[in-house]
């Protein structure tokens, strides 16, 4: 397969930029969370690309850890969304100002 490293990393950077725009522009907590998942996927893609380029499985080990931590983040994040929705139904991210001073 004749793919240059620039192509893989450019694809990863494009996905990361898309995810970052989603995170910054969206005002819904679940949509922001989904954008974070897109960014994590971009990082994983670059790790696997490096692993393929250097013929070294250590990049894949790192990507596996990233996937595990992303799963943990998903569990806690959606638990928080549900708890938030129970305590303040219909609250957007702009309404969560209790910790602000």
Within 49-68, the residues that bind another protein by CB under 8 A are 49, 51-58, 60-61, 63-65, 67-68
Give me the half-sphere count of Cα atoms (radius 13 Å) on the Cβ side of residue 3.
11
**CB-nearer residue toward another protein: 61 or 96:** 61
Is there binding between residue 43 and another protein (CB under 8 A)? Answer: no
**Distance separating alpha carbons of residues 101 and 94, to the nearest angstrom:** 14
> What's the closest the beta carbon of residue 101 comes to another protein, in angstroms?
22
Tokens of 25: 């522009």
Non-local CB neighbours of 31 within 8 Å, separated by 6+ positions? 22
**CA-based nearest residue to 68, from 79, 60, 58, 78:** 60
Number of residues that bind another protein (CB under 8 A): 72
> What's the closest the beta carbon of residue 59 comes to another protein, in angstroms?
9
Is there binding between residue 37 and another protein (CB under 8 A)? Answer: yes
**Distance separating alpha carbons of residues 43 and 32, to the nearest angstrom:** 17
Residues 2-31 that bind another protein (CB under 8 A): 2-11, 13-28, 30-31
> What's the closest the beta carbon of residue 77 comes to another protein, in angstroms?
8
């Amino acid at each position: 397969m004749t793919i240059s490293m620039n192509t893989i990393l450019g694809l990863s950077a494009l996905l990361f930029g898309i995810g970052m725009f989603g995170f910054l522009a969206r005002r819904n907590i679940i949509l922001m969370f989904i954008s974070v998942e897109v960014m994590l996927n971009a990082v994983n893609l670059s790790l696997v690309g490096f692993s393929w380029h250097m013929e070294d499985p250590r990049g894949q080990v790192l990507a596996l850890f990233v996937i595990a931590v992303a799963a943990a983040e998903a569990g806690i994040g959606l638990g928080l969304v549900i708890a938030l929705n129970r305590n303040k139904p219909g609250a957007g991210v702009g309404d969560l100002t209790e910790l602000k001073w």
